[in-house]
Amino acid sequence: MANLSEDNGEETPLQVRLNGVATFIGMVGLSVAGVVLGVLAIRYFTGHTKNPDGTVQFRAGTTGLKQGFMGAIRILTIAVTIVVVAVPEGLPLAVTLTLAYSMRKMMRDKALVRRLSSCETMGSATTICSDKTGTLTLNKMTVVEAHFIGTRLDPCDDVRAISSSSAALLIEGIAQNTTGTVFLPEDGGAADVTGSPTEKAILSWGLKIGMDFNNVRSKSSVLHVFPFNSEKKRGGVAVQSDTEVHIHWKGAAELVLSSCKSWLSLDGSVQPMGAQKRNEYKKSIEDMAKSSLRCVAFAYCLCDIEKIPKEDIADWKLPEEDLTLLGIVGIKDPCRPGVRNAVQLCKNAGVKVRMVTGDNIETAKAIALECGILDANGVISEPFVIEGRAFREMSEIARGEIADKITVMGRSSPNDKLLLVQALKRKGHVVAVTGDGTNDAPALHEADIGLAMGMSGTEVAKESSDIIILDDDFTSVVKVVRWGRSVYANIQKFIQFQLTVNVAALVINVIAAVSSGDVPLNAVELLWVNLIMDTLGALALATEPPTDNLMKRQPVGRREPLVTNIMWRNLFVQAIYQIAILLIFNFSGKKILRLQNESPDNAEKMKNTFIFNTFVFCQIFNEFNARKPEERNVFKGVTKNHLFMGIVCVTTVFQILIVEFLGKFFKIVRLNWSLWLVSVAIGVVSWPLAYLGKFIPVPVRPLQAYFKPCWKSSRRDEEEGRQG
């Protein structure tokens, strides 16, 4: 609980990137608005700004106060509008829409999102630390091998060779040292066994060897219980029958074996545990583990009744040394179908899957080979395969050096999992962790994405997680990665679309303002463009479904820039085209559009209306290009996204209504059919232009990296100047 109460307050990888992009765009917008405000003010008050008819707008000493004030207000409005267009206030909306849409869709893939931002973080995951039991395996356990009285039982429930006293002792340990129960129906039907999968497997096997659960438990009374401990990997119970007290232990086979000084022979006599016999048992454990079996050992010891404390029995520490080994069972937990393919899909996507389990290291290796986590032709030794104890005993520096190499960690405690997560995060990884137990909660909390199991997970684990996997299946975890990458890709699409509009609108207005003292796109028009860009654009691009190509890319991790070189290329191609065309029409539009016969005021309005209409249609057609930043066919699957098509149609209809019927409000005029066709044609050109633009090669090194040396050197000069 102390670990869970610590709020690390970390921002997700996407939040860090978005803050950087939003700050950069905002600063550029404010700077440009400041320049425009200054230029327009100087031009206006020095008498260089003219009306469409050629008259000067402001003359010092002649123009009235009211007229001069209104002129200043108009200039301020233009500057403020530029800031509004430049500042990406639609970015949070786009992110939230994308996350909410993905969250709803992920429910169909058996993933319940508890923390919205975890959707996108999962897309940046570079490694997944997965449990074995129940996630990679089915968690349907059965005893398939048993070693008792120094020999292997064949079949595993054939105990005829065991003496009745030895069998009774074993059955007592199974029935009393358990957290499960057995219910026998009155009609004589099959017994109903409850408990954890391991307990159910052992109790079911106990019934096969002749255990009468209720009768055995009634013959002896429980004095004290030591619950199963994930650190010691064992659990014990003290039971009293008549005058004898038996201490029964059950747990990890090699750990229980190490505490045994004797073993039970065929005739029920206790024999000392010699080196040869110990090695035989170790060999049996290794063989079972290599067959991907979970090995559980049973042992007991007698306790003098006088040594049992009369008071404070709750604090009594059960004897756990000098034990007598009763036997060892091997429990089979088959791999989930489809796990091998899911692991291979992760490998192809550049996401490393690591198995962290409390099981024997040999069992962990066998399951990892079966699931495809380990390669049979690869290195299957330390540090790629390591025990939790060895990792725990290393220094923090040593753990950091080998954390990247670890693929399988066996006999790990929950704290080992936490240490591994911390080491991987320090190396720059975005870490996803799966867990189901209460003890997994600190690792789930520490990880960038905590994935709790919905069926077998405890409430504490679920509360500490970001996403709950409802079917406990690893294939569902891979689907979450796919959706996470889709979220990231959709946000990138929106940013490319938004930056294109920003760059084009800013450059057009700045050049027009500096050269003529007026802007072709007025405040109301830019606010409509802002609405298209922010709200409707976000909604259209946020609902793009994930594609198979997403799982063929490498993960973006923590350090890769949000705006990639491919996005910069697409952005510049479209922005340069829009700027060039619209500035040509801004300066020579009257002549090109043959508006010389119109009155100066009407010609100016028609030209500006045409520029506004063309600019909007450029954005509508560029919205299709934003769907597929890397693919040449931008129309692939477009008809399946009904919301996208609906938004494009609604935007087009609203643009027609604005130009044709809301001219007074927008300070524009109606256009004839020929000007409408020219506007649409200029917008359509963005499609072939985008296709050709994708043949332009881009450097591997991010564009931002080219500016870092300059920034660093300027910072260095500044610091040296201060020291001087």
- State the catalytic residues: 131
Separation of CA 566 from chain center: 23
At 327 the three-state DSSP class reads: strand
**Within 10 A of 619 (CB to CB), how many other CB atoms are there?**
25
- C-beta separation of 228 from 251 below 8 A: yes
Q: Are 499 and 25 in contact (CB under 8 A)?
A: yes
Q: Which residues contact 442 (CB under 8 A, 6 or more apart)?
A: 3, 4, 414, 415, 418, 464
Distance CA 45, CA 42 (A): 5
Which residues, other chains included, contact 377 with Cβ-Cβ below 8 Å and sequence gap of 6+?
none
Q: How far, in Å, CA of 400 to CA of 474, rounded? A: 27
Report d(CA 494, CA 544) in Å as an integer: 11
- Taken as a whole, the chain contains a residue count of 724
Residues whose CB is less than 8 angstroms from the CB of residue 511 and which lie 6 or more positions away in sequence, other chains included:
583
Task: Give dist(CA 191, CA 207) in Å, integer.
Answer: 9
**Residues linked to residue 235 through DSSP beta bridges, in sequence order:** 250
Q: Which of 142, 407, 157, 159 is nearest to 292 (CA)?
A: 142
Order of strands, edge to edge, in the sheet holding 467-469? Answer: 111-113, 467-469, 449-453, 431-435, 127-130, 352-356, 408-410, 385-387
Distance, CA of 416 to CA of 361 (rounded, Å) = 14
Structure tokens at 318: 């059960």
Q: What is the DSSP letter of 335?
A: B
